[in-house]
């Protein structure tokens, strides 16, 4: 089997490329602020606690509007919601860059989170609307790989921009990216009527014909669906692990116990991210060819085992090896929840389902540092690794109950590769 990437891109689902490009710009924009927010807050003379509130305001705004974005995408159409999300993000970024005190900066950060939630929920809804189920794993893994690339390069870009033009400049750069996203949204994404027409064509070309459900019945089916509920649990524990253990405890462990410097700690995070991104394509291929259940269950058990290995990481090189392994196995979990969502969520409420999944992600990101920090304060670093690994193993055991959701007779239609 030989990959032919140009042919694959020519056969991309409708609106996939423009949505992926815009998403990468906005994700990069969010993350260019990461290295400069604390220093920017200190320039106002605010305390460390207040800086933490400024950082968290974005996540709080996103958490409150994740589901709203999905619901609106179902009701008024994706283009309208994506446009509003880009405009709110851009205006809020300008406001943050012009802020001169804590209150306007907090409001701007909250609005940035609101705009991000609206855009991301709606954009993911559009991507999923046109995916062939037989290759949903590969396309969604590619989409998430593009997303993760924005996460990886954002802090580097932010640091360079701030060094060259000052601490306000990354906010203005984020506003420009959001403005470009708004232009692409208006010029390239479909109206609600065009989206419905294209979805009808999409069904005629191979998606199963089905009776349209009332919204209430579709929601009832969604929230009584075992795979959907299990995958919400997977998302929650995975992001508790990422935000709490990987992004908070591991850097502290590396500094306090192993005596590693800032640059080495940064390398740890970067190398793990590169390992994850490099395997996204293969993860999507396995999700399509081997099925959702074996990939999810196996990678959960493997990730749990790797987290336990942090107790063995008594030198910088051992820690680096474990971080690479963590990136490898989490690659196979990254796109899996959305692939299962494509399989099980009624199209009438798919945007709502995406919003709920994104809310589980944000809950994990908010709760992770708090929960893991409490374990560390009460016990030790070893306790954090054992606790987190145990949570992952427990969820892996529960996912043994997960039925296979992939379509039977998976064929080559919509595939990203050619024989």
Q: Are residues 54 and 196 in the same domain?
A: yes
Candidate ranges 10-19, 134-143, 397-406; pick with highest mean pLDDT: 397-406
Q: Is the CA virtual torsion 181, 186, 191, 194 positive or negative?
A: negative
pLDDT at 6 > cutoff 50: no
* Pairwise CA distance, residues 98 & 79, whole Å: 29
Say if residue 233 is exposed, middle or buried (CB neighbours under 10 Å; 0-12, 13-18, 19+).
middle
Place of tokens 């590769």: 417
Q: Are residues 196 and 288 in the same domain?
A: no
More confident residue, 45 or 127: 127
How is 174-192 classified by DSSP, letter by letter?
HHHHHHHHHHHHHHHSPPH
In contact, 269 and 247? CB cutoff 8 Å: yes
362-381: average pLDDT: 88
* Pairwise CA distance, residues 103 & 41, whole Å: 11
pLDDT digits (tens, 9 = 90+) for 376-413: 889 899 999 999 999 999 999 999 999 999 887 544 33
* Pairwise CA distance, residues 303 & 316, whole Å: 20
3-10: average pLDDT: 51
Q: Does residue 353 lie in a domain region?
A: yes
Number of alpha carbons in the 13 Å side-chain half-sphere of residue 374: 5
Nearest partner of 390 among 267, 258, 273, 301, judged by Cα = 301
Q: Are residues 163 and 268 in the same domain?
A: no
Q: Are residues 114 and 230 in the same domain?
A: no
Q: Are residues 22 and 167 in the same domain?
A: yes
Q: Does residue 137 lie in a domain region?
A: yes
pLDDT at 21: 92
Q: Are residues 109 and 135 in the same domain?
A: yes
First to last CA, the chain: 5
In contact, 136 and 289? CB cutoff 8 Å: no
Provide the number of structural domains found in the chain: 2
pLDDT-derived band at 205, boundaries 50, 70, 90:
low
Q: Are residues 245 and 339 in the same domain?
A: yes
Count the residues in the chain: 419
pLDDT-derived band at 198, boundaries 50, 70, 90:
confident
Q: Are residues 197 and 228 in the same domain?
A: no
Q: Are residues 238 and 165 in the same domain?
A: no
Mapped onto helix, strand or coil, the DSSP state of residue 33 is coil
* End position of a domain, from candidates 168, 201, 234: 201
Q: Are residues 280 and 363 in the same domain?
A: yes
Nearest partner of 85 among 99, 72, 75, judged by Cα = 72
pLDDT-derived band at 322, boundaries 50, 70, 90:
very high
pLDDT at 102 > cutoff 50: yes
pLDDT-derived band at 419, boundaries 50, 70, 90:
very low
* Pairwise CA distance, residues 279 & 25, whole Å: 22
Q: Does residue 9 lie in a domain region?
A: no
Strand partners, 418: 2
pLDDT at 397: 97
Q: Does residue 415 lie in a domain region?
A: no
Tokens of 288: 């399509």
Burial 183-215 (b: 16+ CB within 10 A, else e): ebbeeebbeeeebeebbeebeeeebeeeeebee
Q: Are residues 243 and 169 in the same domain?
A: no
Mapped onto helix, strand or coil, the DSSP state of residue 409 is coil
pLDDT digits (tens, 9 = 90+) for 232-278: 999 999 999 988 888 888 888 888 899 988 678 777 887 888 899 99
In contact, 181 and 50? CB cutoff 8 Å: no
In contact, 249 and 307? CB cutoff 8 Å: no
* Pairwise CA distance, residues 264 & 262, whole Å: 6
Candidate ranges 5-9, 111-115, 220-224; pick with highest mean pLDDT: 111-115
Contacts of 262 (CB under 8 A, 6+ apart): none
Q: Are residues 161 and 254 in the same domain?
A: no
Place of tokens 């009808």: 200
Report residue 418: phi and psi, to 5°.
-125, 145
Range of the domain at 379: 219-401
> In 46-168, where does DSSP find H-type helix?
48-76, 78-98, 102-129, 136-165
77-91, 93-107, 201-215: least confident range:
201-215
In contact, 218 and 346? CB cutoff 8 Å: yes
Cα-based distances in Å from 33 to 4, 151, 153, 158, 408: 36, 11, 11, 6, 45
* Pairwise CA distance, residues 84 & 8, whole Å: 31
362-367: average pLDDT: 88
Q: Domain containing 350 — which CATH number? A: 1.20.1250.20
Q: Does residue 393 lie in a domain region?
A: yes
């Amino acid at each position: 089997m030989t990959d032919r990437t140009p042919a694959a891109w020519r056969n991309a689902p409708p609106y996939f490329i423009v949505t992926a490009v815009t998403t990468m710009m906005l994700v990069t924009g969010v993350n260019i602020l990461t290295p400069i927010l604390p220093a920017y807050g200190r320039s106002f003379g605010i305390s460390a606690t207040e800086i933490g509130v400024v950082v968290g305001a974005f996540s709080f705004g996103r958490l409150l509007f994740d589901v709203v974005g999905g619901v609106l995408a179902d009701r008024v159409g994706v283009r309208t919601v994506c446009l509003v999300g880009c405009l709110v993000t851009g205006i809020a970024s300008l406001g943050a860059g012009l802020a001169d005190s804590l209150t306007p900066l907090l409001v701007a950060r909250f609005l940035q989170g609101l705009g991000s939630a609206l855009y991301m929920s709606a954009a993911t809804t559009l991507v999923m609307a046109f995916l062939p189920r037989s290759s949903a794993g590969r396309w969604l893994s590619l989409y998430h790989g593009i997303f993760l690339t924005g996460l990886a390069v954002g802090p580097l870009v932010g640091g360079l921009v701030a060094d060259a033009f000052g601490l306000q400049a990354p906010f203005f750069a984020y506003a420009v990216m959001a403005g470009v996203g708004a232009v692409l949204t208006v010029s390239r994404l479909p109206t609600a009527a065009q989206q419905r027409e294209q979805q009808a064509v999409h069904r005629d070309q191979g998606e199963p014909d089905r009776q349209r459900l009332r919204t209430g019945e579709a929601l009832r089916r969604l929230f009584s669906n075992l795979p959907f509920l299990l995958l919400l649990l997977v998302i929650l524990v995975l992001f508790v692990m990422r935000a709490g253990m990987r992004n908070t405890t591991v850097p502290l462990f590396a500094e306090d116990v192993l005596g590693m410097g800032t640059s080495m700690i940064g390398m740890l995070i970067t190398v793990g991210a590169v390992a994850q991104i490099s395997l996204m394509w293969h993860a999507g291929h396995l999700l399509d060819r081997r099925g959702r259940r074996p990939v999810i269950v196996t990678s959960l058990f493997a990730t749990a085992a790797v987290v336990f290995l942090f107790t063995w990481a008594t030198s910088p090189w051992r820690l680096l090896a474990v971080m690479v392994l963590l990136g490898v196995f989490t690659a196979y979990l990254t796109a899996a929840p959305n692939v299962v969502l494509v399989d099980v969520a009624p199209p009438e409420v798919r945007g709502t389902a995406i919003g709920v999944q994104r809310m589980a992600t944000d809950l994990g990101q908010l709760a992770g540092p708090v929960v893991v920090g409490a374990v560390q304060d009460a016990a030790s670093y070893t306790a954090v690794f054992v606790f987190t690994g145990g949570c992952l193993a427990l969820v892996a055991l529960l996912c043994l109950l997960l039925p296979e959701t992939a379509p039977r007779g998976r064929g080559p239609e919509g595939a990203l590769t050619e024989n």
